[in-house]
Amino acid sequence: MKIVVVAAMRSELRAFQRRRAPGDGAATGVLGIGTALARASTEQLLDEHDPDHLLVIGVAGGIGAGTSVGDLVVPEIVLDGATGEEHRPAPIPGLVNSGVLHTSDRLVGPSEADELVARGVVALDMETAAVASVCGRRGVAWSVMRGISDHVDDPVDPGVLGMVGPEGQARPLAVLSYVARNPGRLRRMAQLAKGLDAATGASADAAAAAIARLSRPAGG
């Protein structure tokens, strides 16, 4: 089986590279942050690799009382926040799909949380619905496993997004500028870094295990 593992940020893929089994045969690709980059990158990766199955990994924001930093989310439904379209990922043997993952280019604030929780949303991201749309149109099976890096009840300062490039790479000058303007946020930045590490690890571990299960011969 030809499998491609994709993530928005290079750091998310590095976590997978450290955990993957030697010789697992899976290709990898960086999507970039946001739906537009994710859609274009998915088209290109499908053209390049013609996979049987695509795995979306990486981090997500938690929402509601049922998710905490470090948790693994394997959603039953991916909801496109812009169009309302619902996408259903292919199940992975050994994993239980549960809850809704909401994809949007906008950061969701606490004021919107109650409505989303009422719809069964347990996590938020910025790419998966775009990937799902492309895969669905092209008849490629896809699955998603995301780790929770932060929570909407303790929202990320939108200024943090300005410190990274389109593939999540650090922008040193932007980091220095942010810290100079917000010295009191250093503790919060350290907390976010710890959450990112836990989330990428949970997602990468799940992806490595999923590849082993998907590659297992039928009945094996």
Residue 218 reports pLDDT greater than 60: no
Which CATH number is 3-155+199-215 given? 3.40.50.1580
Beta strands in 23-76 (DSSP E): 27-30, 53-62, 72-73
Residue 220 reports pLDDT greater than 60: no
Instruction: Write down the pTM of the prediction.
Output: 0.90
Q: What is the pLDDT of residues 44-71, one digit of tens each?
A: 999 999 999 999 999 999 999 889 999 9
What is the reported pLDDT for 186? 67
- As a dihedral over the C-alpha atoms of residue 106, residue 112, residue 115, residue 118, rounded to 10 degrees, the angle is 80
Alpha helices in the chain (DSSP H): 10-19, 35-49, 110-118, 128-138, 172-181, 186-215
% of the chain exceeding 70 in pLDDT: 94
DSSP conformational letter for 170? B
Q: Which residue has the higher pLDDT, 188 or 93?
A: 93
Residue 94 reports pLDDT greater than 70: yes
